[in-house]
């Protein structure tokens, strides 16, 4: 019987010869409760792998940095560096494999993938995990390129060709699309144009360019199929032009995308556009939730899913508002979504976070009645009311433009906890229906009101410490809780990163609302170190993945459960290892934010 278990990373990366070498040199050791395995600055001669029991890793300030259980490995970096900076103590009597340093170093030299598992940057480890996890699944929309899905059978015609020529060409080539060249421009003639041609009574000899749009939505041939789908969904079109080095080479059809997209999410957007009643929208909203599960199973990661769902949710909210709001209200108001929905980081249906900015010409009573209907309808569609009542049916979040500007100013002038929370929610706002200029006016007013107020920015940034009551860290809490090993992934990981990025972006006057876009701009501006930026982006993406996993589990469970709660026992060894890495990135990022805003002062 094998002495060592090779069925988990990184040991499953080893080949037969390498496994035999490890097997030959590995030993087993037993340690009692409270026994110290590694002391700070102590020379390291072995790599440890837990067979059973519990080992805690503590920093110099006493914070528990990690807990190691069955299949967990430590302390690889210290093995190469010569000593550890942390202390490792047995919490529950432990049986561990001990692998000699010489064996480990030889394996790292012989097998780069094995070594990379321990020595890759956090960003590389997390990114690699997202690829490894899906290597036996269907190719996902996010990894497939347009080049892979694009069929090179595009038919071209000169713009001077007649409508009859176009019809005959389309019949001969059995295509619904022809690209048109006319005066140095590229246009698109499609089967749907014949309806308008017949209604207009146009002659068959009419040049085809007159019925071809030339303002086209394009996607590069090296871009992802997912992004092509996103553009189709966003603009409610059935095809995009494919370009190569800036030049049009063909068209990517909806049917080509659907070959990669098993649940036809693009068709959901089309159904939304055609829907004529709230009853139809109820059915479509349920289908959207089903789509998330299918996409997740096909390997699409949470950040990309969130982008797609933002487009679909925006379309859904706009349709609801259009069905409920009379034209005179629709044109004199701006419906906005805020929080994670505004950032494009919401996937599953959670609390409503929306508001209504009214022009001074709007009928206030009509707005109140319609807003009440809107909030009730969203609840029917599966979006529960916000516990804090941040919804359009609350007069506090339904104001005329002057009143809204006054409210935003008051948050800046009186930076208490509630004001800063409201400001944080509003900063992520995105218009989904009506007059978008109303939101732009309020945001411009906010920028002028702030005027680089260092005190207000400090008060705003301090929310990164909101859940720091457990000063010794999350893993210390696990030890105190006994068997209840659950973590609120939003409070412990996602919120401090999102809010820290938000605070830095507010100061830098970055207009993007998506956290990943904001982070990219902060790195480009030199406000965040590039490596920390990469690590933070991958850590946030991974934490979002874990949150989605927990949320889907809660949806599928017959027992009610909190979707933000991660059960540590449900995670694989690799997932636990990556979670430790991600939480260390969160700690580094929070430290950077504290230093930047001088939060330790006073």
Residue 456 to residue 446: CA distance in whole angstroms: 12
Top mean-pLDDT range of 78-92, 140-154, 536-550: 536-550
Write out pLDDT tens, residues 209-226: 999 999 889 999 988 887
Q: What is the CATH number of the domain that holds 20?
A: 2.60.120.10
Question: Do 385 and 252 reside in the same domain of the chain?
Answer: no
Question: Do 470 and 557 reside in the same domain of the chain?
Answer: yes
The answer, yes or no, to whether residue 118 has pLDDT greater than 50, is: yes
- pLDDT confidence of residue 191: 86
The answer for residues whose C-beta is within 8 angstroms of residue 367's C-beta and 6 or more apart is 329, 333, 356, 358, 398
Q: Which of 445, 472, 506 is the last residue of a domain?
A: 445
Start-end of H helices in 414-566: 417-427, 436-450, 454-461, 474-481, 489, 495-508, 515-524, 530-556
Question: Do 273 and 254 reside in the same domain of the chain?
Answer: no
Q: How confident is the model at residue 483 (pLDDT cuts 50, 70, 90)?
A: very low
- pLDDT confidence of residue 113: 83
pTM over 0.85, yes/no: no
Q: How confident is the model at residue 131 (pLDDT cuts 50, 70, 90)?
A: very low
Average pLDDT over residues 370-392: 94
Q: What is the mean pLDDT of the chain?
A: 86
572 or 532: which leads in pLDDT:
532
Write out pLDDT tens, residues 325-337: 999 999 999 999 9
Question: Residue written as tokens 């002038």?
Answer: 413
The percentage of the chain sitting over the pLDDT mark of 70, rounded to a whole number, equals 89
Residue 64 to residue 469: CA distance in whole angstroms: 15
Question: Do 285 and 313 reside in the same domain of the chain?
Answer: yes
Structural domain that includes position 157 = 146-258
The answer, yes or no, to whether residue 127 has pLDDT greater than 60, is: yes
The answer, yes or no, to whether residue 275 has pLDDT greater than 70, is: yes
- pLDDT confidence of residue 150: 75
Average pLDDT over residues 382-405: 95
The count of structural domains within the chain is 4
The answer, yes or no, to whether residue 475 has pLDDT greater than 70, is: no
Question: Do 76 and 151 reside in the same domain of the chain?
Answer: no
Average pLDDT over residues 180-208: 90
Question: Do 240 and 288 reside in the same domain of the chain?
Answer: no
Q: Find the distance separating the first CA and the last CA of the chain, reported in whole Å.
A: 62
The answer for residues whose C-beta is within 8 angstroms of residue 356's C-beta and 6 or more apart is 333, 334, 335, 336, 367, 371, 392, 397, 398, 399
Question: Residue written as tokens 């321990």?
Answer: 118
Please indicate, yes or no, if residue 457 is contained in any of the structural domains.
no
The CA distances from residue 86 to 37, 63, 78, in Å, are 11, 10, 9
């Amino acid at each position: 019987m094998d002495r060592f278990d090779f069925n988990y990373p990184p040991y499953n990366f080893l080949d037969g010869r390498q496994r035999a070498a490890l097997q030959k040199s590995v030993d087993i050791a037993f340690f009692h409760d409270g026994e110290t395995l590694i002391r700070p600055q102590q020379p390291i001669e072995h790599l440890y792998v837990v067979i059973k029991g519990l080992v805690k890793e503590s920093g110099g300030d006493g914070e528990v940095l990690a807990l190691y259980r069955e299949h967990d490995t430590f302390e690889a970096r210290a093995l190469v560096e010569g000593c550890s900076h942390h202390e490792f103590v047995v919490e529950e009597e432990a049986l561990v494999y001990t692998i000699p340093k010489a064996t480990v170093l030889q394996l790292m030299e012989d097998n780069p993938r094995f070594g990379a598992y321990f020595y890759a940057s956090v960003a590389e480890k997390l990114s690699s995990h997202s690829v490894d996890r899906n290597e036996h699944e269907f190719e996902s929309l996010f990894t497939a390129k347009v080049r892979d899905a694009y069929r090179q059978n595009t038919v071209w015609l000169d713009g001077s060709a007649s409508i009859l020529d176009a019809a005959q060409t389309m019949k001969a080539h059995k295509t619904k699309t022809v690209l048109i060249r006319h005066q140095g421009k590229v246009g698109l003639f499609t089967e749907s144009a014949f309806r308008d041609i017949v209604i207009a009574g146009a002659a068959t000899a009419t040049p085809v360019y007159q019925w071809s749009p030339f303002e086209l939505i394009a996607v590069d041939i090296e871009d992802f199929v997912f992004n092509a789908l996103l553009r189709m969904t966003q603009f409610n079109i059935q095809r995009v032009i494919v370009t190569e080095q800036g030049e049009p080479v063909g068209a990517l059809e909806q049917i080509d995308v659907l070959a990669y997209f098993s649940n036809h999410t693009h068709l959901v957007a089309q159904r939304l556009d055609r829907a004529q009643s709230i009853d139809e929208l109820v059915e479509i909203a349920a289908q959207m939730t089903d789509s998330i599960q299918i996409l997740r199973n096909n390997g699409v990661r949470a950040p990309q899913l969130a982008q797609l769902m933002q487009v679909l949710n925006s379309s859904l909210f706009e349709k609801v508002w259009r069905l409920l709001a009379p034209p005179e209200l629709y044109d004199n108001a701006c419906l906005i979504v805020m929080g994670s929905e505004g950032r494009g980081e919401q996937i599953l249906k959670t609390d409503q976070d929306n508001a209504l900015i009214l022009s001074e010409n709007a009928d206030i009573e009509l707005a109140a009645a319609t807003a009440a209907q809107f909030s009730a309808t969203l609840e029917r569609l599966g979006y529960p009311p916000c516990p804090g009542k941040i919804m359009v049916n609350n007069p506090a979040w339904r104001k005329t433009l002057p009143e809204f500007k006054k409210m935003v100013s008051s948050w800046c002038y009186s930076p208490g906890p509630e004001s800063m929370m409201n400001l944080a929610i509003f900063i992520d706002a995105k218009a989904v229906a009506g007059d978008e200029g109303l939101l732009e006016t309020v945001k411009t007013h906010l920028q002028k009101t702030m005027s680089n107020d260092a005190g207000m920015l400090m008060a705003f940034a301090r929310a990164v410490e909101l859940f720091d009551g457990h000063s010794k860290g999350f893993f210390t809490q696990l030890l105190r809780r006994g068997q209840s090993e659950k973590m609120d992934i939003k409070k412990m990981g996602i919120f401090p990163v999102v809010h820290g990025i938000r605070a830095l972006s507010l100061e830098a006057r970055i207009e993007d609302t998506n956290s990943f876009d904001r982070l990219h701009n902060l790195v480009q501006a030199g406000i965040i170190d590039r490596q920390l930026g990469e690590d933070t982006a991958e850590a946030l993406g991974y934490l979002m993945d874990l949150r989605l996993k927990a949320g889907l589990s809660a949806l599928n469970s017959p027992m009610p459960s909190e979707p933000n709660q991660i059960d540590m026992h449900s995670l694989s060894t690799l997932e636990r290892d990556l979670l430790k890495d991600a939480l260390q990135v969160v700690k580094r990022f929070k430290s950077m934010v504290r230093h930047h805003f001088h939060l330790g002062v006073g």
